[in-house]
Amino acid sequence: MTDLVTGDTGSTLTATCTDSDGTVIDLTGATVELHWEGDDGVVISEVMTIDDAAGGIASYTFGAGEIFAPKMVFEVGITDVGGKIITCVDKIELIVREQIG
């Protein structure tokens, strides 16, 4: 199953942030970032949109050149209102196919 396609600029990754016990992390007042290693090996960090703070849900819509095949691995980091950094335990792995044409 393919999760993303190279060249797309409207694909959105949505994540529910949980701790190691599976409890949803309240994102009220927090900043949430999506981290991944680009195809050039450089780590990219982009701010996510908080869609449901109490539900721990954040999303990121990819821009031009950000999606590459064959697979991408993401990590979600949270800076809470007090400045503490929390990294979501589970990584997100997506399969990416090349665009046809």
If we measure between CA atoms, which residue out of 52, 57, 67 comes closest to residue 14? 57
Report the share of the chain in percent with pLDDT over 90: 82
* 2 pLDDT higher than 70: no
Calpha distance 35→13 (Å, rounded): 12
CB-neighbour burial class of residue 77 (10 A; exposed 0-12, middle 13-18, buried 19+): middle
Neighbours of 38 (CB within 10 A): 12
The third-level CATH classification (topology) of the domain covering 4-97 is Immunoglobulin-like (2.60.40)
Q: Which band of pLDDT confidence, cut at 50, 70 and 90, is reported for residue 1? A: low
pLDDT category of residue 27 using cuts at 50, 70 and 90: very high
Model pLDDT, residue 24 = 93
Average predicted confidence (pLDDT) for the chain: 93
Q: What is the pTM of this model?
A: 0.91
Angle at 43 between CA 7 and CA 55, to 5 degrees: 80
For the stretch 33-78, pLDDT in tens is 999 998 888 999 999 999 999 999 999 999 999 999 999 999 999 9
